[in-house]
Amino acid sequence: MPVSIVWFRNDLRLADNPALIAGLGSSRAVLPVYILDEETDGARPLGGASRWWLHHSLARLDASLQALGSRLLLRRGPARKIIEELAAESEAHTVYWNRAYDDASRARDTDLKQSLRSRGIGAESLKGNLLFEPWEVKTATGTPFKVFTPFWRACRALPSPTTPLPAPKSLPAPADWPQSDALSDWRLLPTKPDWASGLRKMWTPGETGAADRLERFLDEALPHYRDGRDLPAMEVTSRLSPHLAFGEISPRQIWRATAARGTSAASDKFLAELGWREFSYNLLFHFGDLKQRNFRPEFDAFPWQDNEPVLTAWQRGQTGYPIVDAGLRELWTTGWMHNRVRMIVASFLTKHLLIDWRAGERWFWDTLVDADPANNPISWQWVAGCGADAAPYFRIFNPILQGEKFDPQGAYVRRWIPELAELAPQTIHRPWASSSPPPPHIYPAPIVDHGDARTRALDAFRTLKQSA
DNA sequence: TTTTGAGTTGTTCGA
DNA sequence: GTCGAACAACTCAAA
């Protein structure tokens, strides 16, 4: 009986899954597989928050597959070797997967494809995770875009994303199941200590949770999106990022569901956020490993400062700037941070503290449930000024003004820093100026003076310009 | 080939 | 209190 292997990666869904549909259409039985691959050269191990999410997402996918009469086979190790073994064991005729775009995955997938084909086994990769393939979007001269606005304009001029594929109604299982790992043996969940209670409260990993989240966003929040998306105390962003990062929902599903509600300034703005994700993957594909390398090489000479205690204070939300600390505490508790606040804390780390953006990127990678190989490094580089289409160096966020502007009542700060809850809106973003400032053992004094730090950052950027 | 307009998200200063 | 200019020039994309 001809069997096909469908290799699930960052596409943990049944609906709109091109690899799954291709596998189903080409054979009488499908072997669904997930591989935890932390051994392939260059593969970046998942952070702690992502491991938590992955556990639950795999459990959900397995349950959904069982409802179709199948299940999810789990293996751990170098993916190429494991796929080859499974193909031999199950006598599969073809292996299907949806494409990944980082260097390490592409190298691995190319090798695997060649090796399978040389043994007479088919290997097909499909577009399942992006709206537009990186090689489909090019400037008039055939080069990749480096500026977002023309990039997105070019995308919008391409044929619109097509209708999402339906989830299969049933999935014929192979006669013999190869040996599978037990999910619990992967120890993806934290135990000592169990720091995931805030994550459990906030999130429902899995395809159903993703679809519910999208529906709720479109029904309730989208009309307020344009004006409210910058206010972290309001819940008008979609919070789809972790679902998207694990592929529990596809960008095409989001695009089509949003477009189906009609066009508006809000929907355009929201779709442009999908555009930023596309842009990041485009850059990752064309410019290689940007989690280490500065997109703008002149930044290789930037005088970053190593300062472990200061980095630790930032990570723990103890900088003395309420909007910064609130964001970092939200991240630590929930595995997620509002986009506006991500910019503020990233600007603070790289400009006020002069700490290398890579340290911030690694912290986000470890703590975010939506940690994404393209979005995370590229957005950090954008804030630091070394990225594509980056902010000019003199654009240094003032954490007091940002707080007052985007959290005018202080509701967001109060939620995450209860020790400041009694302060009035007029002083909550500058507690040291209050008539009764909190004592330092309750809430720290500012770790740097804003004015001094700003001057120091401008000087540092000037040295960069002179040495270039 | 050259030219031209534009570029996610800001802050500060001085009139 | 409000408003416009300065903060730098540079690179990108397209005409």
Q: What pLDDT score does A464 carry?
A: 78
- The DSSP call for residue A30 is E
Amino acid code (one letter) for A347: S
Nucleotide nearest to A378 (CA to C1'): B8
Q: What pLDDT score does A390 carry?
A: 82
Q: What pLDDT score does A2 carry?
A: 87
- Angle at which helices A48-67 and A357-367 cross, to 10°: 40
- Give the C-alpha separation, A231 to A403, whole Å: 10
- Concerning whether A84 is annotated as a catalytic residue, the answer is no
Q: 10-residue block means of pLDDT along chain A (468 residues)?
A: 93 98 95 96 95 98 98 98 97 97 96 97 97 94 92 94 96 95 98 96 98 97 92 96 98 97 92 96 93 92 94 97 97 97 96 96 98 96 90 88 95 97 94 92 96 92 71
Q: What pLDDT score does A144 carry?
A: 94
- Concerning whether A419 is annotated as a catalytic residue, the answer is no
| A34, A136 contact by CB (below 8 A) | no
Q: What pLDDT score does A1 carry?
A: 58
A278 CA from B7 C1′ (Å): 18
| A346, A357 contact by CB (below 8 A) | yes
* pTM confidence score: 0.97
A267 CA from B9 C1′ (Å): 18
- Give the C-alpha separation, A454 to A467, whole Å: 20
A394 CA from B13 C1′ (Å): 14
Reading the block at residue A160, the tokens are: 């619109």
Catalytic residue among A39, A89, A124, A273: A273
Q: Strand B footprint at Cβ < 7 Å?
A: A 147-149, 230, 272-273, 276, 339-340, 343, 379, 382, 389, 391, 394-398, 401-402, 405, 450-451, 454
| A229, A339 contact by CB (below 8 A) | yes
A454 CA from C5 C1′ (Å): 20
A394 CA from C8 C1′ (Å): 9
Q: What pLDDT score does A293 carry?
A: 94
Catalytic residue among A39, A339, A398, A404: A339
Catalytic residue among A84, A304, A398, A404: A304
Catalytic residue among A276, A307, A398, A404: A276
- Concerning whether A375 is annotated as a catalytic residue, the answer is no
Chain centroid offset of residue A440 CA: 35
Q: What pLDDT score does A289 carry?
A: 85
Q: What pLDDT score does A466 carry?
A: 63
Beta partners for A92? A3
- Concerning whether A380 is annotated as a catalytic residue, the answer is yes
Task: For each of the domains in chain A, give its residue range(s) and CATH number, in order of start.
Answer: 3-128 (3.40.50.620), 130-159+202-287 (1.25.40.80), 297-467 (1.10.579.10)
